[in-house]
């Protein structure tokens, strides 16, 4: 344990400060495909009963029209966050007629590329902008990639912790700058250790053969419809997932906030030849993509974690970060566990809290180029062969066995789990840590191993297994309907969101081309 970590833990363990640990905030965004009775991608539009994908605060769509996204409010207790997520699922399940929420991250049998629907958000300028952005994604990466789902875990430390930590560090920056620097330091440590999350929670070792669509790959054949790698943890997060030659040279530095935001701003402003050749409009003047730059908007940059700030209306993410600093982090590398109705459970959430707090409190030196590369290599090695016996990773320029390093990290997390249990009462955080320790000791307990074991034992294809799980989850949700009052609240929220979208579309609006130009200028004009 580093001296800095020891001093910070002692500070947080003080009786006067311990309650601050119960004021950290947790939010979840869970993506899930809508599928039909056969497990095939739903071709229907976003269900009206779920409200407007543009304006509903908790139920929207992501890239594909069939890719739902459920968003919880941020809560101090992760148990409340999960309870909110469950209510959204129960409402959605009650409204889907003949359709199901797909249980894993990777899609099942996909239709032809042209028949995968892009998400639509209506005729308002902002709705059209969201659609054109997704058209650009389809153009750049293919629609198949827009059918991958994941879980994003949002976490912020209690506001009251920052002055205490800054005083302990004898840091003389402006409080906002200290907090941002501390979150960026957290992200550096996350990059160092996130391979562990892929080992423990990766749940996509296999996928439907239709996902590859004739592309070259090195996957093995499990059956006529299923491809896999024997020791993989998360094919979703491997080079089979979102890939972009344009983004390959884009490696935002996490050594300070300014260099991170500048690298993204430059990417939004720098043309990429292959995209420039296509142009922004077709021969008929119809929009194809928002611009021809390396990324259309900052959210197009694919990363396993992001620094975030709640934005004002019309404000872009980079603008919010630059003007008011980092407010929370968004962990983006989590697979959906097909065995869990919500894709995640409370034990995992509590472990994530422990993990992220360790990243925040542990010493975090700047990342030199060599370490940046080893972080990436360790992550990619773990997602493809993390359960391989005696697999070695790189640490400080030397080889170390994954199992050994994982055990050392879990030992280092133990004091944080103990503090969280003192703060909340009980032993739930230490229990969550113990569950992960068992997976390190026995790889067969990981979700990725369980999926492969079940596929081999049952003889089911990936799509058959996933559909069976999807229908079982739907039955469980429908067996526990919301109370009449809760159901009425969701129905009203859906109705209100449809009214809000209609009002947006009826309000006077300028020319769409001018709207896009202004949106682009809003970031290009930022001075660093």
Cβ–Cβ under 8 Å, residues 466 and 102? yes
pLDDT of residue 321: 94
| Model confidence band, residue 243 (pLDDT cutoffs 50, 70, 90) | low
- 47-51, 365-369, 459-463 — which is least confidently predicted? 365-369
For the segment 440-461, the average pLDDT, to the nearest whole number, is 98
* Residue among 307, 324, 301 nearest 157 (CA): 307
Q: How many Å apart are CA 329 and CA 66, to the nearest integer?
A: 27
Average pLDDT, whole number, for the chain? Answer: 94
| Two structure tokens written together for 265 | 């701003």
For the segment 149-169, the average pLDDT, to the nearest whole number, is 97
Note the pLDDT tens digit of each residue in 311-358: 987 788 999 999 999 999 999 999 999 999 999 999 999 999 999 999
- Asked whether the predicted pLDDT for residue 242 surpasses 70, the reply is no
| Model confidence band, residue 528 (pLDDT cutoffs 50, 70, 90) | very low
| Model confidence band, residue 390 (pLDDT cutoffs 50, 70, 90) | very high
The secondary structure of residue 388, as a DSSP letter, is: S
pTM: 0.96
Cβ–Cβ under 8 Å, residues 122 and 501? yes
| Model confidence band, residue 372 (pLDDT cutoffs 50, 70, 90) | confident
- Asked whether the predicted pLDDT for residue 290 surpasses 90, the reply is yes
Percent of the chain exceeding pLDDT 90 equals 86
Percent of the chain exceeding pLDDT 70 equals 97
Q: Supply the Cα-derived Rg of the chain in whole angstroms.
A: 23
- Asked whether the predicted pLDDT for residue 35 surpasses 90, the reply is yes
Q: How many Å apart are CA 363 and CA 1, to the nearest integer?
A: 9
pLDDT of residue 527: 42
- Asked whether the predicted pLDDT for residue 396 surpasses 70, the reply is yes
- Asked whether the predicted pLDDT for residue 441 surpasses 70, the reply is yes
Contacts of 449 (CB under 8 A, 6+ apart): 205, 387, 443
Q: How many Å apart are CA 452 and CA 467, to the nearest integer?
A: 16
SS3 string of 344-401? Answer: CCHHHHHHHHHHHHHHHHCCCCCCCHHHHHHHHHHHHHHHHHCCCCCCEEEECCEEEE
Helices 257-269, 175-193: axis angle to 10 degrees equals 80
Note the pLDDT tens digit of each residue in 65-97: 999 999 999 999 999 999 999 999 999 999 999
Q: How far is CA 103 from CA 171, 376, 452, 492, in A?
A: 47, 28, 15, 27
Phi-psi region of 313 (alpha: psi -120 to 50; beta: other; left: phi over 0): beta
Cβ–Cβ under 8 Å, residues 205 and 229? yes
Domain architecture of the chain: domains with CATH: 3-524 (3.30.590.20)
Helices 462-479, 447-458: axis angle to 10 degrees equals 110
Contacts of 391 (CB under 8 A, 6+ apart): 231, 381, 382, 385, 401, 402, 403
For the segment 133-146, the average pLDDT, to the nearest whole number, is 93
Q: How many Å apart are CA 222 and CA 213, to the nearest integer?
A: 17
| Two structure tokens written together for 398 | 């030397």
pLDDT of residue 485: 98
Q: How many Å apart are CA 159 and CA 353, to the nearest integer?
A: 16
- Asked whether the predicted pLDDT for residue 523 surpasses 80, the reply is no
Note the pLDDT tens digit of each residue in 198-211: 999 999 999 999 99
């Amino acid at each position: 344990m580093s001296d800095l970590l020891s001093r910070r833990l002692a500070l947080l363990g003080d009786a006067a400060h311990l309650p601050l640990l119960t004021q950290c905030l947790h939010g979840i965004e869970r993506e899930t495909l809508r599928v039909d009775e056969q497990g095939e991608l739903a071709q229907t539009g976003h269900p009206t009963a779920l409200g407007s994908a543009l304006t509903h605060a908790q139920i929207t769509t992501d890239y594909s029209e069939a890719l739902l996204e459920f968003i919880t409010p941020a809560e101090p207790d992760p148990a409340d966050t999960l309870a909110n997520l469950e209510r959204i699922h129960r409402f959605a399940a009650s409204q889907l007629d003949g359709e199901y929420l797909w249980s894993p991250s990777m899609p099942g049998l996909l239709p032809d590329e042209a028949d995968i629907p892009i998400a639509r958000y209506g005729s308002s300028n902002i709705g059209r902008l969201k659609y054109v952005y997704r058209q650009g994604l389809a153009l750049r990466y293919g629609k198949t990639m827009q059918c991958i789902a994941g879980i994003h875990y949002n976490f912020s430390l209690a506001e009251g912790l920052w002055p205490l930590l800054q005083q302990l560090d004898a840091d003389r920056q402006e409080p906002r700058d200290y907090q941002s620097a501390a979150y960026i330091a957290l992200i550096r440590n996350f990059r160092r250790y996130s391979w562990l999350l892929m080992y423990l929670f990766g749940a996509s070792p296999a996928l439907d053969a239709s996902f590859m669509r004739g592309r070259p790959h090195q996957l093995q054949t499990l059956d006529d419809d299923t491809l896999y790698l024997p020791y993989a943890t998360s094919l979703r997060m491997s080079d089979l997932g979102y890939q972009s030659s344009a983004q390959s040279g884009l490696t935002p530095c996490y050594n300070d906030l300014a260099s991170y935001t500048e690298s993204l701003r430059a990417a939004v402003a720098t043309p990429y030849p292959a995209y420039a050749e296509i142009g922004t409009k077709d021969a008929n003047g119809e929009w194809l993509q928002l611009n021809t730059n390396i990324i259309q908007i900052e959210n197009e940059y694919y990363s396993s974690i992001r620094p975030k700030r709640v934005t004002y209306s019309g404000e872009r993410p980079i603008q919010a970060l630059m003007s008011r600093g980092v407010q929370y982090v968004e962990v983006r590398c989590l697979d959906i566990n097909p065995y869990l109705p919500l894709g995640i459970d409370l034990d995992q959430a509590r472990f994530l809290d422990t993990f992220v707090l360790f990243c925040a409190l542990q010493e975090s030196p700047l990342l030199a180029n060599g370490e940046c590369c080893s972080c990436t290599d360790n992550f990619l090695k773990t997602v493809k062969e993390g359960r391989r016996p005696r697999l070695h990773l790189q640490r400080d320029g030397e080889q170390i066995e994954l199992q050994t390093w994982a055990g050392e990290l879990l030992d280092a997390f133990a004091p944080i789990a103990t503090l969280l249990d003192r703060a909340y009462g009980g032993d739930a955080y230490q229990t969550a840590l113990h569950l992960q320790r068992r997976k390190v000791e026995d790889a067969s307990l990981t979700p990725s191993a369980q999926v492969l074991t079940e596929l081999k034992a049952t003889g089911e294809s990936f799509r058959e297994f996933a559909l069976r799980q999807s229908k079982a989850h739907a039955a469980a949700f429908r067996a526990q309907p919301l109370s009449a009052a809760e159901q009425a609240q969701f129905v009203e929220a859906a109705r209100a969101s449809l009214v809000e979208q209609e009002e947006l579309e009826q309000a006077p609006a300028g020319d769409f081309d001018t709207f896009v130009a202004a949106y682009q200028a809003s970031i290009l004009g930022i001075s660093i």
